[in-house]
Amino acid sequence: MTELFDLTLEEHLAILLSRGIRDFETSACGALSFIPAAGMLLAQHTHAPMAEIIILGSRDYSPFSTGKDFHYHAQRGQLDLFHISGIEIDGYGNFNLHVIGDRDNPDVLMPGQYGTGMLYYAVPRIQMFRTEHTPRSFPETVSYKSGAGTSPEGIARRTREVRVITPMCILVLNQETRLLELESIHEKYTPQEVQENTGFDLDISSSIPETPPVTEQEVTTLRQVVKPHMIESETYPDLAAKLIR
């Protein structure tokens, strides 16, 4: 049971993200991505010891001189998995990192992105994540498409798998309907509770499996191995000290 370990939100999401890291693949996250960084390091210390990980902006896990080098790396097909977050994620797999409200007269203007929209086309597997699951963060349609879940006709994209990890559930983008669907629901929550906190229809007419609960090995490794390693390697050391118990 998750409650047994008294997990922080960040710990729980890092553990769930770690399960998507595969051995012998190259996985990456951006320069402001503590949660997936912790998840990738956890995977390396558990089930994926041969995984190559890239944490942009870090001392030990960023082999690129500039952001352009990283994006060229992805465009050449040398990246298997990338992590994306967003202020809004809608039922079509679109995400918003730019504005809330009207683009010309926004309620909220955000910094935007640096190449994330392109990576959404160039990388075969995407793990999105959000620390909040509400109708505001998962609206029917985003206010602005920073990254599109579906390509226009005739535009090729490498992306073939998109999952969204939230505090309540895991969603997957159906590659045929191009709609987000429930893959599993975390313990403590019901399908009705997830639907009530989502701004688009999840079609919960069928039975939805429960997300496999976190394990003692995952929690112990995160806290006793990954946390000190992140501090020693200066990989989000302050956040690791604060958010991992």
Does residue 151 fall inside a structural domain?
A: yes
Does residue 62 fall inside a structural domain?
A: yes
Expressed as residue numbers, the domain containing 87 is: 2-238
Does residue 243 fall inside a structural domain?
A: no
Buried-exposed string 64-79: b where 16+ CB fall within 10 A, e elsewhere: eeeeeebbebbbeeeb
Q: pLDDT at position 164, please?
A: 98
Tokens of 125: 């597997």
Q: pLDDT at position 155, please?
A: 84
Q: pLDDT at position 100, please?
A: 75
Write the pLDDT tens digit of every residue in 109-143: 666 666 888 899 999 999 999 999 999 999 999 99
pLDDT range class, residue 1, cuts 50, 70, 90: low
pLDDT range class, residue 67, cuts 50, 70, 90: confident
Q: pLDDT at position 236, please?
A: 97
Q: pLDDT at position 68, please?
A: 86
- CATH number of the domain within which 159 lies: 3.40.1080.10
Q: pLDDT at position 205, please?
A: 78
- 3-state SS of the chain is CHHHHCCCHHHHHHHHHHCCCCCCCEEEECCCCHHHHHHHHHHHCCCCCCCEEEECCCCCCCCCCCHHHHHHHHHCCCCCEEEEECCEECCCCCEECCEEECCCCEEEECCCCCCHHHHHHHCCEEEEECCCCCCCCCCCCCCCCCECCCCCCCCCCCCCEEEEECCCEEEEECCCCCCEEEEEECCCCCHHHHHHCCCCCCCCCCCCCECCCCCHHHHHHHHHHHHHHHHHCCCCHHHHHHHCC
Average pLDDT (138-164) is: 92
Q: pLDDT at position 112, please?
A: 62
Does residue 245 fall inside a structural domain?
A: no
Q: Report the number of distinct structural domains present in the chain.
A: 1
Q: pLDDT at position 107, please?
A: 67
Write the pLDDT tens digit of every residue in 186-229: 999 999 999 999 999 998 877 899 999 999 999 999 999 999 99
Does residue 45 fall inside a structural domain?
A: yes
pLDDT range class, residue 65, cuts 50, 70, 90: confident
Q: pLDDT at position 214, please?
A: 97
Does residue 244 fall inside a structural domain?
A: no
Q: pLDDT at position 154, please?
A: 84
How do 169-173 and 161-165 pair as beta strands?
Answer: antiparallel
Mean pLDDT estimate for the chain: 93
Q: pLDDT at position 139, please?
A: 96
Write the pLDDT tens digit of every residue in 69-103: 998 999 999 999 999 998 999 999 999 987 877 76
